[in-house]
Structure 1
């Protein structure tokens, strides 16, 4: 299975690849930073699904031109909460099969991408039935401001994997886990590799944080807003000017009357026994 990802930020593309590997761990990827790169990838390799991490630099009309040229490829678009219902409806009208909010939980994003892959569609609920934001209840005096911890992420793990995660949470090594559960150390490593893939964690510490609800997901980068300045295109000025030289460099050869830029001269050694006597005739 091969997926295409469209976004100019490599870090965000890596986050999407971690999501899509939960659909097919052997999936291949075509990464593109613009529509031209995505079109070239489609012409070279058959693609099962195109995932677009939407940002302000993309115009809906470009999506229409792409879906017209590749009508057999389902398209899923990730948008932030700032995207208006009018924009979501426009994306659906231009050929997108599914529009998903980035703030959606990662396991649900995976399921919605699977629905789009199988030919279904998804529309955010606030687009179909817009509702006013709920009014928070008044806080009581002395009430703790600590937010409620998210529930354990156990829906995707088997009972054995949950046992292993509880041991990892207590700081047990692979050998200690194997002795506790009565299995081999190699089996523990296989389970941990599967757990890391399902949770999208790069290491044990991140897996414990995601499992306990301390970290929403390894895909937190996808939830970030596009608040940083856009990258300049080729030939345009960037937001930070290039650093200039503090002192002028020497230019060789120097003119004969140029005394302002003296050439650096190596120090001459001092004779150990005074000045040498001139040789006699």
Structure 2
């Protein structure tokens, strides 16, 4: 489902998606309230969600959509947030609301399609060129670390968590640590389970909140 208050934008995204043989747009919504209503009726696998919309914004809609399963599929949709980056200063809050990742609105068609397929498969959209920049920019006010929360992790799991927060893929982490990608995947699954996290996005947020990762200052053009 494509959610945006601009009809032309919705139509553009929908056309790109519907051109793919394995993807289909089941609905379009012009605001968060309509998105929530349609999602409950149609149970989309993935929702492309704009943030700034009149009425119910994308942040509130994301929180509602990911809070409880939709019928009849019985599983909450994965939300892929569409952002202009420079304007949406509350993007980090969207991650907390349950978003599975981000795409910039000026993303290339192939990037949009790849992002949809990634989150549809149950993974998080943590491309270094997108999500890492967003978190770096908007995670400046993290609460004080809580050491007790990490006591359940092994030293290697904590190391993997730090690398996940830096935006590295399983293959990149495997190369850094000198292990197989299967081993890295096992570590990621283990730390997610121990910390009660849904995916790598939530793991990245936690790492910033606990001080395992720090925002890097980037130059704005």
TM-score of the two chains, using structure 2 as the length reference: 0.51
Equivalent in the alignment of 2:45: 48
- 1:37 aligns to 2:34 (yes or no): yes
Residues 5 and 13 in structure 1, CA contact (< 8 A), matched pair in contact too:
yes
Q: Find the counterpart in structure 2 of residue 105 from structure 1.
A: 108
The answer to whether the aligner puts 1:78 opposite 2:164 as a matched pair is no
| Structure 1 residue ranges (4+ consecutive) displaced by more than 6 angstroms after TM superposition | none
Q: Is the 8 A contact 1:50 1:74 kept in 2?
A: yes
Give the superposition deviation at 1:25.
6.1
CA spacing shift, 1:26–1:100, aligned 2, 3 Å = closer
Structure-1 residue corresponding to 2:122: 119
Runs of 5+ consecutive residues of structure 2 not aligned to the other structure: 70-74, 137-215
CA RMSD of aligned residues (A): 2.6
Aligned mate of 2:8, from 6, 11, 18: 11
Structure 1-normalised TM-score? 0.41
Q: Equivalent residue of 2:106, what SS?
A: coil
Structure 1 or 2: more helix by fraction: 2
Deviation at 1:46, TM superposition (A): 2.9
Question: Who is 1:133 aligned against?
Answer: 219
Q: 1:28 to 1:125 in 2, by over 3 A?
A: closer
Aligned twin of 1:20:
17
After superposition, the Cα gap between the structure-2 partners of 1:26 and 1:89, relative to the gap in structure 1 and judged at 3 Å, is closer
Correspondence list, 1:136-151, <5 A: none
Contact 1:22 1:110 in 2 (8 A): no
Q: State the number of aligned residues.
A: 131
Measured in 1, the distance between the counterparts of 2:99 and 2:111 equals 18
Note the alpha carbon deviations across 1:46-97, whole angstroms, 9 max, x for none.
Answer: 312111123253262342123213452111110003145x522110100111
Please report how far the alpha carbon of residue 21 of structure 1 lies from its aligned counterpart in structure 2 after TM superposition. 2.2
- Name the CA distance, whole Å, in 1 between partners of 2:53 and 2:31: 13
Contact 2:14 2:25 in 1 (8 A): no
Residues 51 and 59, structure 2, Cα contact 8 Å, conserved in 1 = no
Of the two, which has the highest radius of gyration?
1
Alignment partners' CA distance in 2, 1:59 and 1:13 = 14
Distance 1:121 1:22, change over 3 A: farther
- CA distance in 2 between counterparts of 1:93 and 1:28 reads 26
Unaligned runs of 5+ in 1: 136-281
The answer to whether the Cα contact below 8 Å between 2:50 and 2:58 also exists between their aligned partners in 1 is: no
After superposition, where does 1:248-267 map in structure 2 within 5 Å? none
User: Is 2:78–2:120's contact at 8 Å kept on the other side of the alignment?
Assistant: yes
